[in-house]
Amino acid sequence: MLQPTVSRYVRGIEYKSLTVLLSDFRKTLERESGGSISRLDANASELLSDLCIFLGLSDENRRKVLGQDGTRFIDSTLDAPITLPVKQ
- Written as tens digits, the pLDDT of the chain (88 aa) is 556 655 666 666 677 788 888 899 999 989 988 889 888 888 899 999 999 999 898 999 999 999 999 999 999 987 766 665 666 6
> 77 and 50 in contact (C-beta within 8 Å)?
no
DSSP class of 37: G
Burial of 62 (0-12, 13-18, 19+ CB in 10 A): buried
Q: Any idea where the domains of the chain sit in the sequence?
A: 42-79
Alpha-carbon gap, residue 62 to 66, rounded angstroms: 6
CA angle 85, 39, 19 (to 5 degrees): 120
Alpha-carbon gap, residue 5 to 13, rounded angstroms: 23
